[in-house]
Chains A and B, each alone.
Chain A
Amino acid sequence: MSTRELARADEPRTEYLTPPVEIYEDDHALWVSADLPGVAAGDVEVALHDDLLTFTGRVGQSDDATRRAYRRRFTLSNPSRFDTEHISAVLRLGVLEVRVPKAERAKPRQVPITVN
């Protein structure tokens, strides 16, 4: 499950691990959670650039010769469906959970039926 990438020559080598994830959706939001055991809250980064959602979580000591980090990237199809200003993230028991709320207009609506 792990992938290796080469870092730039002036940076310590980082070994990237691919964490298992869950993606869950309901009418109001999309949840993306990832198992990041050993990662402290201050070592997690959640970033959205255009439609690319990236999680990174560093593991262990920064002075190690090889740095280890979890990383996973997702492309949001049709990002205008989501309210990307209000993405929230929680790290609990080594699991990162990111909530991406849906935009109001993407939520299902009840259309009232008038009976004449």
Chain B
Amino acid sequence: MFVHVRERRPRGDFWSLDREVDRIFRDFFSDWSLPVRNDSGVAVSQEKDGVTLRAEVPGIDPADIKIAVDGRTLTISGERKSPERPEGTYRLREARAGNFVHTFDLTATLDADAVTAECRHGVLTVRIPKRPEAQPRQIEVKSS
């Protein structure tokens, strides 16, 4: 099964086995159009007319999220800032603050110029449609 979006991992060989497992997992599930979550926390859904990426970005202002397309590379980056609080003490701190970057390689069937994004209730949804010529088509059967 063809995978339209593959995440590029900046890490070394340590992850190669993980990457292979992830690839098989994703290839298997792409047949079922189920979102597949990789270890970066970005869910990738393969659809008939394109691909949807879904990332949880709680506590991040949409103005602090950048989506960049350079050739066939799509990069989502941003920063979660620590909330401003009066002088006091943290008793427990589980939420992660700081920077994040996800880089994806897009196949040529996807239209990198038509990427749209929306952020709602702390969830970022990025939609990458297929090129018009790669969209599924209905062929009309004429009667003679």
A contact set with B: CB distance below 8 Å: 20-28, 30-31, 33, 35-40, 93-95, 97
Contact = CB atoms under 8 A, between A and B. Distances in A.
B85 A93 contact: no
Given A20-B95, A38-B121, A94 B85 contact: no
B85 to A, nearest CB: 6
A26 B95 contact: no
Interface stretch (B4-12, B26-34, B54-62, B134-142): B54-62
Question: What's the dominant secondary structure at chain B's contact region?
Answer: loop
B87 interface: yes
A31 B91 CA distance: 10
Interface string B91-127: 1111110000000000000000000000001110000
A93 B95 contact: no
Nearest to A28: B86
A38 to B, nearest CB: 5
Interface string B5-46: 000000000000000000000000000000000000000000
